Structure 1
Amino acid sequence: MNETQQPAERPSDAELKALSDSFESQQPWDLLEYALKTYRQRIVLACSFGAEDVALVDMVHRIDPDAPLFYLDTDFLFPETFDVRDRIIARYGLKPAQVIQMKSLLTPEQQAARHGTMLWASKPDQCCELRKIEPLTRILGEYAAWITGIRRDQAPTRANAGLIEWDKKFNLVKVNPLARWSSENVWTYLQLHEVPYNTLHDRNYPSIGCTHCTAPVLPGDDPRSGRWKNFGKTECGLHK
């Protein structure tokens, strides 16, 4: 990308707020088209292979088939998550260089030796820091913007998410195309476009993370109540 295509400097909060507000009445793919063109070759999609993120893979692919995505392989993902990853790669013909696997600097064995076995059960925040936040920080340091699948109605911590905003934690532009959408909007899109999705969603897992910290949710319960059960924790720290 040549210099004239790159944003000259960090947009101000006021500029991003005005930009975000301007997309409130538009569709997620309109914002994606803007972001993918503005930050071409300097933007990446964060993909957990959950419902929202595979919808974004489909939208992004329709605009820029060469755009990259990354996923955080914590070494504790469900087999079903790797299965949908492979189906997404095959469906959209993603090249190996487009699908970036990020892992902790510690193997599970090294983590157990340094911090004790079953860290996720005793200190889940530290486990998330080692297996998610640190690798996330490394990959985001290579980009000027990232795309996430967060929605405002997922949790109180996400209720005020802008469609596009400055990520103060990781120091780059954060694009949340689905912020205004409901779960129903997401599933309508997946069905309409026949997007591959994680089969755990069909077994009462609305939010899917690591095997140790994810449980099915009873109908009518908070969709994120199956994450870090018994810990009063609903976020791993990626979106705080």
Structure 2
Amino acid sequence: MDSKITYTNFASNPFDSLNIFDETKGAYHVLKWAYDTYGDEIVYACSFGAEGIVLIDLISQVKPDARIVFLDTGLHFEETYDLINRVKAKYPELNIELKKPDLTVDEQAEHYGDNLWNRDPNQCCYIRKVKPLEEVLTGQTAWVSGLRREQSPTRANTDFLNKDERFQSIKVCPLIHWTWDNVWDYIKSNELPYNILHDQNYPSIGCAPCTSPVAAGGDSREGRWSNNMKTECGLHVGRKS
């Protein structure tokens, strides 16, 4: 493409005619286009879940020194931090940054009371994830996300390129056509590191207080905020009017 797609001039998806039946279901080509187009104005916000490991490996092939940001809420499983260290060792050129919120967990408790994630998980997610990502995306034209259409009804209409109303940017989602089996086939065939909690019935891994194992055959998002109606942390929903 000759021109850069931005939030303000977003009109159409340049990948409408892309062959999604290649080895990566279009993901490699989408990433190559995205990094060629946006250069240093694109960042990957990675949760280091299974999809994240796939994207990290593909991104390393198109931009070995890409910027990858993990929203370090201070509430993640130790297994997640261990995985990040293993990924850093495998891909030493990648610029992996752990972005912390303004408040520590203890400071949040002082301001809002203990265990805010139980009483008001939306507020907790805003403080520890949404606001930090807003800061990360300031000055960035686009960001990469590992959303897949198969994951949930709220993600079923995701495109390769999306106008992100929440963060006023372009959200690039290379894995929209991948199934859960596709993700794991790629991880296994390429012998990639992954979070060992996936072997303990945790398909989707977030903060420890809000993540539970899922029964065999359960929905991949079922273990997130399982005691209330919340299904998203707020990173993938529109800006409130």
TM-score tier, shorter chain, comes to over 0.9
Q: What does the per-residue CA deviation read over 1:178-207, in whole Å, with 9 as the maximum and x for residues that have no partner?
A: 011101111111111111100000000000
Q: Establish whether residue 143 from structure 1 lines up as the match of residue 106 from structure 2.
A: no
What is the CA–CA distance in structure 2 between the aligned matches of 1:136 and 1:117, rounded to whole Å?
23
SS in 2 for 1:14: coil
Q: What does the per-residue CA deviation read over 1:143-178, in whole Å, with 9 as the maximum and x for residues that have no partner?
A: 111111010110111110011121111011110000
SS in 2 for 1:99: strand
Q: Establish whether residue 226 from structure 1 lines up as the match of residue 223 from structure 2.
A: yes
What is the CA–CA distance in structure 2 between the aligned matches of 1:13 and 1:7, rounded to whole Å?
9
What is the CA–CA distance in structure 2 between the aligned matches of 1:189 and 1:90, rounded to whole Å?
20
What is the CA–CA distance in structure 2 between the aligned matches of 1:20 and 1:27, rounded to whole Å?
9
What is the CA–CA distance in structure 2 between the aligned matches of 1:118 and 1:12, rounded to whole Å?
42
TM norm structure 2: 0.92
Alignment-derived partner of residue 40 in structure 2: 41
How large is the Cα RMSD of the aligned pairs? 1.6
Alignment-derived partner of residue 126 in structure 1: 123
Contact 1:20 1:165 in 2 (8 A): no
Alignment-derived partner of residue 170 in structure 1: 167
| Identity between Structure 1 and Structure 2 (%) | 44
Q: Which amino acid aligns with 2:41?
A: R
- Larger relative helix fraction: 1
Residue 9 (structure 1) shift: 5.0
Q: Which amino acid aligns with 1:52?
A: E
Equivalenced residue count is 232
Alignment-derived partner of residue 21 in structure 1: 16
Question: Structure 1 76/10 Cα, relative in aligned 2: closer, same or farther at 3 Å?
Answer: closer
Please point out which of 192, 195, 207 is paired with 1:195: 192
Q: Which amino acid aligns with 1:110?
A: E
SS in 2 for 1:153: helix
Q: Which amino acid aligns with 2:222?
A: S
Question: Structure 1 11/181 Cα, relative in aligned 2: closer, same or farther at 3 Å?
Answer: farther
Residue 59 (structure 1) shift: 0.2
Alignment-derived partner of residue 59 in structure 1: 58
What is the CA–CA distance in structure 1 between the aligned matches of 2:9 and 2:225, rounded to whole Å?
35
What is the CA–CA distance in structure 1 between the aligned matches of 2:18 and 2:44, rounded to whole Å?
19
SS in 1 for 2:140: coil
Residue 49 (structure 1) shift: 0.7
Residue 109 (structure 1) shift: 1.1
Contact 2:6 2:169 in 1 (8 A): no
Mark the runs of 5 or more structure 1 residues left unpaired by the alignment: none
What is the CA–CA distance in structure 1 between the aligned matches of 2:144 and 2:6, rounded to whole Å?
19
TM norm structure 1: 0.92
